[in-house]
Structure 1
Amino acid sequence: MITLPLLSSRIKRAAKKHFGWRTLRPGQLAPMKTVMKRRDALVVMPTGGGKSALYQVPGTLLPGPTVVISPLLALQQDQIAALNEYGTPALRAVRISSAETPNQKAEALEAIRNGEARFLFTTPEQLASEPMQVEIRALRPALVAVDEAHCISAWGPDFRPDFLALGHLIRAIGRPPVLALTATASPPVRDDIIKRLGLREVKPMISGLDRSNLFLEVAYCPDENYRWRRLTALLDEDEGLGIVYVATRRAAEELAEKLTDAGYEAAYYHGGMSGGMREERHEAFLADKVQVMVATSAFGMGIDKPNIRWVAHVALPDSPDSYFQEIGRAGRDGAPARALLLWRAEDENIQRYFTGGAVDEKEVRDLAAVLRTGAHTKAELREKTGLGTRKLGQLLALLEQVDSVATIGTTKVLAPNYAPPAAEAAKLAVAEAERQQTVQRSRIDMMRAFAQTRSCRGQILLAYFGEHAPEPCGHCDNCLNPPADAPVSPAPSAAATADEPAAAELFPVHSTVLHQEWGTGMVLGYEEDKMTVLFDTVGYKTLSVTVVSKRSLLTPG
């Protein structure tokens, strides 16, 4: 058995030999050692932090090929091209996707079989094919890396129903060890990833979430005219490339036109555009032909560009998850970059609208009834229920969470024997949907709290993700220029007396607590005389430390 020092040395030698890296980045070695020990891992590392290296370096040492599952073909292509530039079989990558012909897919599999390639990139849709599962299983993969793993979570900003079956699909190819990678994952998202992928004995490995080169700034805008002036001031001050995020497709088009009329090189991007136009805009931005991209959240994954100097939000994001993911696209080269949030109270109403209305109980009941008649493919379910692809995926996810859906093989689903009757399953699913919407609304509340805080923004953001930051970040507007009425944080024990200990001492960060009405929660962090707790049923709550202590609102979990 390889000892840990020898294992570390092997990894470092492989990084230098194959990639020319004299040193590894902070936070990379521990996940690599976990992968080499053939264990599952969940790694949360910011955009530009070197997540791809976590499977690439071990992939040169493991006894079999590495299968990389990624949601975007453009992102896959960039990673494949980067590996193939080295010109060695130990790093050669091939792909099986909708972009390849049957002959090209056969050639890719043959290259892996013959040892001419080590990395096989693919998508969940390709893995859903049973013949393809047989082929990949025969390759005896040593590792499966799931990139952008937050896509598997209903709580993630890029939720995709197609990812829901990944746990089943990975088992179908032999269940090799799984490395799940994401740039942002709050506690509910991390729990979802672990559950849906079936990760074993995993403790999330989180590193580098505090981006010290990224300056965080927030401005409340009393009207649109003021918001416009602040945005153009940013563009005039910083001539580098950047992204402006807006809430709606219409806003993207209108703001891009207004910026163009004002003399700025701007274009828009949103999910309602044709695939060809989206690809054209994407490539133009990567080639520095667009200075300002005005976009909805659809513009994000696959933007592997180091020289984005700023990201502006001209609307309140729907959650700190989305905000962190989007600002993480700036300053990937390590040079100073800016993140400016320009928000108005009206923005919050838009995001609450997007959380959606109530789930139609009849639609869920009808779907559950069809599932009880036997195994069906998703295409058959769409035909029988009249549901669209996305709605079907969301309802299946809800039914799965209340034990009313099971996967047969990899392409069919049905109601398992232990599933409740259709009417009861529908009621349970609707209740779960309501719980999720409650949590989502609490995420909007947390985003507003971030925007309104007069304390360190870095600490607020890290606390949301379950990370404790004992010191102010030093790279936000409130740290650089503290507001005149900003509270001064007392020493940790200053709030306590012999008879009345501070809640911070009673409930350490990350400890489990119980509330009589809200149930189980996790303490995420403290700000001034407030504490943030994430409850399973109602989401994020900000509580007064004094009230919690005096009224004994919380007890140890």
Structure 2
Amino acid sequence: MVPHGHAPTPPSTLDQARAVLRRHFGYPDFRPPQLPAVEAVLSGRDALLLLPTGGGKSLCYQVPALLREGLTIVVSPLISLMKDQVETLDRRGVPAAFLNSSLGAHDVADRMARARHGALKLLYLAPERLDADRTLTALRDIGIALLAVDEAHCISEWGHDFRPSYRKLGTIRERLGGPQTVALTATATPSVRQDIVQQLALRRPKIVVGGFDRTNLTYHVARAPSPRDKDAAAIAWLRRADGPGIVYAPTRTAVERVAAALVRGRVRAVAYHGGLDSALRQRAQDAFMDARAPVIVATNAFGMGIDKPDVRLVVHHAMPGTLEAYYQEAGRAGRDGAHSTCVLLHSVADRRTHEYFIAAAHAERRVVVRVWRALREAADATGRVSFDVDTLVARLPPSLGERPIGAALRVLEASALCTVTPPALGRVWVRLLATPARIRRELIGVRTPERRLLRAFWRLAGHQVETGAVFDLSDLPSVHGGPMGIVPLLERLAAQQFVTWVKRGAELRLDSRRMTEPVPPVDWLALDRRRRAEIRRLDAMQGYAQTRHCRRAFVLRYFGDPDARPRCGACDRCLGTT
């Protein structure tokens, strides 16, 4: 597809790409795995690019994006990841921006205007944002030169990080006019690759496998039955390391506990996880990046998009649930090509933890049916449910559990029986308590903005605001200051009982044509297949931890790498150090 308002861009050459690489990114040339990947994108063909963690996947679409007319859309799963990438591109003089839920309506409108006027080359979005009708229509009108799908394994239900929102990207691509599409991932087995191609409907795609073997990495597994044993082993490995280290822990609580244990063991470490406020997270990341703290203890989100090439040691304090996840996280060591070490601290209890999460994530049939019936009872004729997700959880028996209820909702959503609309930024329920006479008498002078706000609510909802109405604060006139300006006004009004208000959570709506079904028409066999696939991935991860043979060969065979050899001479099994 040719973007609106642009003539077709002539095919670029590899020499032109090298010039852009040097000018904007400071590298003299592409690495060997990147060369066929960049050539595939420059040719205008759809492509599936599999490069190992640290292999420079982003450059394979960023450089071609700078060589063609029009806008490149990048689908990215994490707010932190797209923010880091855009900040890096800005420093290098590349016009890029992101759209996500952290932005107000004014910022979103400004960035869309820049895209419309050709002032952006790359625009990063989460798949949920791209699926929104307003965003999709605007981007289709602008015209998309290239669609890049990062972390493309999220598309596949056979992948290790399946996300239903990614599953819609094939339809979204079609609605965008079928632009050239490149899918990128560091971890995809042959069956996952096939699913990515099928779900995105890639046309005669060029598939580039950059080789999964990171020859500078040495793999070790250390048996550590208890948390105390793991702490001691981590401290021993970190003291021997000749450079920065990352310790991955499975939960926020574990991150805090392990970081404290390392500090007690005289290892300078900082903690990083999503439960910390943004200032503390940034402080921890900066301390690690600047070498003031040589060790960072983090959940698995840390490392995506972080440009720290000299990490010499990655320690997994607990076994991940999949070999894909382990290989991706361990691969954050040694991105500069120097020798580095990856250590898995293993105990039998690690598997039981993952079995619990798999059971909770795959709702039992009885839970799905119970949730379905609760939604049917509360739905009106159009399918709109009279309460949000939080209220649903509160209404159902506590014995069902919040996680299984969430899993049941995902099943209903994936079966097109229910839609769960994420809470919009600034979506609130407001009920007017004060009389018009009191409003006129008290909201005067410096309080005039509050009276204007109540008048705006009345214009939108009329008498309904007296019993309660839902408003999107982003839709109110800009003179009120958007959500950030309105919330303080609401808080003052509520404190003096002019109004009562609450933020609205995710909204629920059933397919009105299928609401009469007492048992939801769900493909139960497919659900069971997905559950068994997760168990198989867990089996593979445990197989890696317990193998008596070459660990590198085990990983390469799992990913279908044709260069797998029986022995590497560098892992603990081959070296005889286990």
Q: Summarize the Cα distance change of 1:144–1:390 in structure 2 as closer, same or farther, 3 Å threshold.
A: farther
1:149 Cα deviation from its structure 2 partner: 2.3
* 1:119 positional shift: 1.4
Match of 2:71 among 29, 43, 65: 65
How far, CA to CA, are the matches of 1:384 and 1:47 in structure 2?
A: 41
Give yes or no for contact 2:557–2:564 (8 Å, CA) kept in 1. no
* Partner secondary structure for residue 355 of structure 1: helix
How does the TM-score come out when normalised to structure 1? 0.73
1:238–1:374 Cα change, 3 Å: farther
Q: Post-superposition shift, 1:454?
A: 2.6
From the superposition, tell whether residues 80 and 272 of structure 1 become closer, same or farther in structure 2 (CA, over 3 Å).
closer
- Counterpart of 1:176 in structure 2: which amino acid? P
State the match for 2:364 in structure 1: 360
Seen in structure 2, the aligned counterparts of structure 1 residues 390 and 278 have a Cα distance that, compared at 3 Å, is farther
Give me the whole-angstrom Cα distance separating, in 2, the residues matched to 1:128 and 1:353. 32
Q: Tell me the equivalent position of 1:536.
A: none
Deviation readout 1:3-40 (Å, 9 max, x if unpaired): x9984455445445554544221222323233234332
Q: SS of 1:294's equivalent?
A: strand
Identify the residue that residue 521 of structure 2 maps to in structure 1: 425
For 2:53, the equivalent position in structure 1 comes to: 47
- The one-letter code matched in structure 2 to 1:77 is K
Aligned to 2:535: 441
Structure 1 SS opposite 2:540: helix
Match of 1:166 among 148, 164, 169: 169
Q: Could you tell which deviates more after superposition, 378-387 or 139-148?
A: 378-387
Counting aligned pairs with the same residue, the percent is 36
CA–CA separation in structure 1 for the residues paired with 2:200 and 2:407: 17
- The aligned runs of 1:331-370 (5 Å cut-off) are 331-357=334-360, 359-365=363-369
**Hey, what's the Cα distance between the residues in 2 that align with 1:80 and 1:261?**
37
What is the SS of the residue equivalent to 2:271? strand
Asked which structure has the greater CA Rg, the reply is: 2
In 2, Cα distance between equivalents of 1:389 and 1:415:
23
Change over 3 Å in CA distance of 1:147–1:416 after alignment to 2: farther
String of CA shifts for 1:267-287, please: whole Å, max 9, x gaps: 333445455544543444334
Q: Following TM superposition, by how much is the alpha carbon of 1:150 offset from its aligned partner in structure 2, in angstroms?
A: 2.8
Q: Map 1:366-381 to 2 at 5 A.
A: none
Tell me whether 368-377 or 198-207 shows the greater mean CA deviation.
368-377
1:487-545 per-position Cα deviation (integer Å, ceiling 9, x unaligned): xxxxxxxxxxxxxxxxxxxxxxxxxxxxxxxxxxxxxxxxxxxxxxxxxxxxxxxxxxx
CA contact (8 A) 1:252 1:268 kept: yes
* 140-149 or 283-292: bigger deviation: 283-292
Aligned partners of 1:95 and 1:262: how far apart in 2? 41
Choose which of 51, 56, 61 in structure 1 pairs with 2:62: 56
Structure 1: segments with no counterpart, 5+ residues = 484-557
> 1:330 aligns to what?
333
Query: How far apart, CA to CA, are the structure 1 residues paired with 2:161 and 2:206?
Result: 23
Give the distance between the partners of 2:35 and 2:513, measured in 1 at CA: 45
Provide the C-alpha distance between the structure 2 equivalents of 1:265 and 1:113, rounded to a whole number of angstroms: 48
Contact preservation (8 Å) 1:404, 1:420: no
Paired residue for 1:38?
Answer: 44
Deviation string 1:89-118 (CA, Å, 9 cap, x unpaired) is xx3212333343433333323333333321
Deviates more, 1:169-178 or 1:192-201: 192-201
Match of 1:493 in 2: none
The 2-side partners of 1:276 and 1:377 are apart by 39
Instruction: Return the offset for 1:70.
Output: 1.6
Deviations 1:134-154 (Å, cap 9, x if unpaired)? 221121111111222233444
Q: Deviation digits for residues 204-244 of structure 1, max 9, x if unmatched?
A: 42213111111111222355555444322211111522122
Number of residue-to-residue matches in the alignment: 474
Q: 1:293 aligns with which of 293, 296, 306?
A: 296
Assess, with a 3 A threshold, how the Cα gap between structure 1 residues 379 and 218 changes in structure 2: closer, same or farther: farther
- For 1:128 and 1:101, locate their aligned partners in 2 and report how far apart those are by CA, in whole Å: 18
- Is 1:461 aligned with 2:461? no
Q: Which residue of structure 2 lines up, in the alignment, with residue 492 of structure 1?
A: none
- CA distance in structure 2 between the aligned counterparts of 1:11 and 1:353, rounded to whole angstroms: 48
2:254 is the alignment partner of 1:251: yes
2:260, 2:24 → 1: CA distance? 47
Q: CA deviation at 1:448?
A: 1.9
Cα shift readout 1:344-389 (whole Å, capped 9, x = no counterpart): 2232222222222452324434666769998868997748955999
Which is helix-richer, 1 or 2? Answer: 2
Change (3 A) 1:50 1:336: same
Instruction: Give the match for residue 216 of structure 2.
Output: 213
2:314 is paired with a residue whose SS is strand
The Cα offsets for residues 434-475 of structure 1, whole Å up to 9 and x where unpaired, read as 322222222222222212223221110011112233433333
Choose which of 441, 444, 451 in structure 1 pairs with 2:545.
451
Amino acid at match of 2:34: Q
Partner of 1:233: 236
Distance 1:63 1:171, change over 3 A: same
Deviation, 1:82, is 2.8
The answer as to whether partners of 1:213 and 1:475 remain within 8 angstroms in 2 is no
CA 1:363–1:261 in 2, change beyond 3 Å: closer, same or farther? same
Paired position in structure 1 for 2:81: 75
Is the Cα contact below 8 Å between 2:381 and 2:512 reproduced in 1?
A: no
Could you say if the C-alpha distance between residues 49 and 470 of structure 1 is closer, same or farther in structure 2, counting changes exceeding 3 Å?
closer
Contact 1:407 1:414 in 2 (8 A): no
User: In the aligned structure 2, how far is the partner of 1:77 from the partner of 1:280?
Assistant: 16
The aligned amino acid for 1:112 is A
1:278-335 deviation per Cα after TM superposition (whole angstroms, max 9, x unaligned): 4543444334343322233343434332222111122222121111011011111222
Is 456-465 or 179-188 further displaced after alignment? Answer: 179-188
What are the superposed Cα offsets for residues 382-425 of structure 1, whole Å, 9 maximum, x if unpaired? Answer: 489559998677546545766868999xx998659899966362
Aligned equivalents of 2:390, 2:267: Cα separation in 1: 48
Q: Could you tell me how far apart the structure 2 residues matched to 1:200 and 1:413 are?
A: 35
Q: Is the 8 A contact 1:168 1:407 kept in 2?
A: no
Q: Does 1:480 align with 2:575?
A: yes
CA 1:138–1:402 in 2, change beyond 3 Å: closer, same or farther? Answer: closer
